[in-house]
Amino acid sequence: MLLVSLLLLTVQTRGGGTGRAGELVAIAVTPLQSLLVRIHRGALGFWANYIDWKSVRRENATLRGENEQLRVQALQAGETREENARLRRLLVLRDRLPLATVAGEVIGREAGGWVRSLTVNRGRGDGIAQQTPVIVPEGLVGRVVQAHRGTAVIQLLNDPASTVGAVVQRTRTAGLVEGDAGGAVRFKFMARDGASVAPGDLVVTSGLGTLFPKGLPVGRVVKIEDKGSALFHFAVLAPAVDFSRVEEVLLVTGQTTQDVAGLFPSDG
Amino acid sequence: MLRLLLLLVTVGGGVLQSTVVAVAGVGGITPDVPLILTVLIALRYGPESGCLAGFVAGLLQDATGGGLVGVQALTKGLAGFGMGLLVGRFWVSNPLVQVPGLVLLSVAEGLGRFLLLQMFHYPASLGDLMLHVILPQALYNGLIGTLCILAEAAYELMRRRTWM
């Protein structure tokens, strides 16, 4: 360093100016300087990127959280909207029916096959008794088989032990609607009376006896099964009600002799 | 403490059966969670606990399901007792025996239930029940039982590793 300094001083003294020494220094220093500047800029850029990345990451987490929250809210809103629509339809039916009814909410299900039932949050305390018919806007669900103080168990139409008196609306062919172990609903009728029963026919409650009001939709005939019996034929029904989706019901506590078929959707 | 735990598991299984499981069926078939829990309890704690768990679970199912009260209490109680008695024999502690055992026990429980219900003029035929309810449910029980056994084995493995 001393030598270099002396050399530089000598060059300046002999040459009479600082130009040459400055040039020499510049030649040596410039690449280093530019390298340092580049490193400095790179480091600054890296830091800025790191800061950006950090804030983007935080922002991303916040946005994800918000997105999640909005999704939950949207789901809740959708659920509420659907529930609202279902309750509205139930209310419309309740207002139209010439019967006293109590609305109930499904709080339990038994779908194992041996027994098919729903449990609702209405019971003896609400005036519900055994054999109370249970309906939804699409048609008949079943009947109450156990009424406890605050809950009731409803036997569904497709329960193997369920039997309901019914008629084919178009032909007035009388028969019995029964559930079976496979979860299907069948209409059993006298073969000699049911020659004209055809797929698409609506089967409604007959109103015979005092249990079910007349005209509650039960299901539509899907096909006729002639099991070789001379006496009876069976029609497989598509139930008017999708039992797995029932969430609110009307328990019919009053009686009427009026045919209520017109109060239900004709495509049910 | 053990009794309280058994009671909680059994009642929890019954509640699960009438709420979550009922809407999660495949093709209308649902597993019999209380029976699976009864078998697992019997395998772990013996015939008395299995019998008690089965009885409580069955009674709860009978009471909430709308069927004849006492039928499942009896069949599930017997299933729990029987499974508990078999522990230590026929390699019942082996998972390869437990799963087919659970399937067979489900079928046997179904047959027992059918025979009992016959005394009360249950209308469905055995053929229909076997085809649509007993066999599919037994297989479903076997599947769920397998998952439970695997989960239990994984839990045991993790616990041992934590101790080591």
Q: What residue spans define the domains of chain B? A: 2-163
Q: Is A137:A264 a contact under the CB 8 Å cutoff?
A: yes
- Answer yes or no: do B133 and A244 touch at CB < 8 A: no
A153 confidence band (pLDDT: 50, 70, 90):
very high
Q: Which of A108, A112, A183 sits opposite B32 (nearest CB)?
A: A112
Quick one: closest CA in B to A146, which residue? Answer: B66
A192-205 residue pLDDT tens: 776 788 899 999 99
pLDDT, residue A242, reads: 92
pLDDT, residue A228, reads: 60
pLDDT, residue A29, reads: 63
- Answer yes or no: do B123 and A110 touch at CB < 8 A: no
B89-139 residue pLDDT tens: 766 667 777 788 889 989 999 999 999 988 888 888 899 899 989 999 999
Q: Tokens 């400055």 map to which residue?
A: A22
Please tell me the least confidently modeled range out of A16-20, A122-126, A156-160: A16-20
Q: Please determine, looking at this structure, whether the domain spanning A101-262 carries the CATH number 2.40.10.340.
A: yes
pTM of the model: 0.73
pLDDT, residue A156, reads: 94
pLDDT, residue A185, reads: 92
Alpha-carbon distance of A226 to A135, in angstroms, equals: 30
Q: Which of A111, A178, A182 sits opposite B132 (nearest CB)?
A: A182
Residue A253 C-alpha from the chain's centroid? 30
> A 61-90 residues with CB below 8 A of B?
none
Q: Enter the tokens of residue A149.
A: 């103080």
Quick one: closest CA in A to B67, which residue? Answer: A115
User: Residue B38 pLDDT more than 80?
Assistant: yes
- Answer yes or no: do B124 and A109 touch at CB < 8 A: no
A5 confidence band (pLDDT: 50, 70, 90):
low
Alpha-carbon distance of A132 to A144, in angstroms, equals: 5
B61 confidence band (pLDDT: 50, 70, 90):
confident
A102-122 residue pLDDT tens: 999 999 888 778 889 999 999
pLDDT, residue B25, reads: 76
**CB-based burial, B54-68: b 16+ in 10 Å, e otherwise:** bbbbbbbbbbbbbbb
User: Residue A26 pLDDT more than 70?
Assistant: no
Characterise A116 by phi-psi region: left (phi > 0), alpha (psi -120 to 50), beta (else). Answer: beta
Alpha-carbon distance of B71 to B56, in angstroms, equals: 12
pLDDT, residue B150, reads: 85
What is the rounded average pLDDT for all residues in chain A? 85
Backbone angles phi, psi at A215, to 5 degrees: 95, 10
* B122 Cβ contact partners less than 8 Å away, ≥ 6 residues apart: A160, A161, B114
Best of A106, A107, A110 to mutate (most B CBs within 10 Å, chain B): A110
Closest approach of B72 to chain A, Cα-based (Å):
11
Quick one: closest CA in A to B66, which residue? Answer: A153
User: Residue A2 pLDDT more than 70?
Assistant: no
Alpha-carbon distance of A118 to A115, in angstroms, equals: 10
Neighbours of B105 (CB within 10 A): 26
Strand partners, A108: A119
> Is B26 strand, coil or helix?
strand
- Answer yes or no: do B133 and A110 touch at CB < 8 A: no
pLDDT, residue B148, reads: 83
Q: Which fold has domain B2-163?
A: Arp2/3 complex 21 kDa subunit ARPC3 (1.10.1760)
